[in-house]
Amino acid sequence: MSVVVLLSRDSLLLKQLQVAFDRCAPQLEAVLADDPRAARAQVAACWFPPAGSLGRLANLQVIHSVAAGIDHLQHDPSCPDLPVCRVVDPGHRQGMTEYLRWAAIHYHRGFDQVLEQQRERRWERPLQRPARQFRVGVMGLGSLGSAIALDLAAAGYAVRGWARSAKALAGVQTFVGPRQLEPFLDDVELLINLLPLTAETRGILGRDTFARLARGAALVNVGRGGHLDLDDLQQALASGQLRGALLDVFEQEPLPTEHPLWTTPGVTITPHMASAASHDCIAEQVAENLRRLQLGEVLLNEVDRAQGY
């Protein structure tokens, strides 16, 4: 029986994936790193693999992210130079759309302020404005980012988007490339990041970016933790340049219990739940790629490791 090894620092996820593999790919043995059978694995299914775990697998031929991104693999310096695949779940777009629609309403309607007022037992209605007067900026206009921008524009928001290459989206003002980043950011009240994490985008959510936004703007990061400069975020929140930040992704996941973000005023933390591939979808796509590997066929959803997506 073929073996897939599951590698993650998240013990709950490992248990859930084992159940999904048993249900959806019973022809495989899905084992953990400490199982002797792991040495036979040709495919490793990973989410933030522990340091050194990939380098110990002598028979490994494919590294499979269990998510849409692959940057979490960098947390294991022993990661070998092998083909890398990701999971593409058709339901991923719907989940992300729901999450970001909620985020837009949360800040547009002032629910962040209302929740703070409740803790203070203070009765005060936030100023109400029509959606067309609330300026939303979407960074990253790939398949997900474009869907989000179009959804928010259809809901009536004043939406602009920024991407590396030109895009034409109905009802969305688009900006292209580094030279148009500053005009894109000017006076945005809600900045949503969906960029891939690359050498060019690492740290892009920092002081210079925050300074261009409208004073009292809010940030939503559903890209990657490496996009965000935490020191600059703290300063922007303390100064009032940012009124809040909704963070779903972090450089280390799960976020350590002692991390200061848990108690930073204005920060809302969600546990990487904006959208995720279903466990059944993960099991099915990893199993299909193992089958393709063994038959010498083209792998599904193989990524360009140099570009990071």
| Residues annotated as catalytic (active site), given as ranges | 224, 272
**Signed CA dihedral, 222, 225, 230, 232: sign only:** negative
d(CA 123, CA 137): 31
Query: What's the token pair of residue 207?
Result: 């002081």
Tell me which amino acid residue 225 is: G
Pairing state between β 217-221 and 43-47: unpaired
Tell me which amino acid residue 258 is: E
d(CA 69, CA 73): 9
Measured between its terminal Cα atoms, the distance across the chain in Å is: 31
d(CA 119, CA 122): 8
Neighbours of 258 (CB within 10 A): 7
d(CA 90, CA 75): 27
Helix (H) or strand (E) holding 137: strand 135-139
d(CA 243, CA 210): 11
CB 268 within 8 A of CB 245: yes
- The contacts of residue 77 (CB under 8 Å, 6+ apart) are 51, 52
CA distances from 183 to 2, 31, 146, 298 (A): 53, 50, 19, 42
In 3D, which of 74, 44, 73 has the Cα closest to residue 58? 44
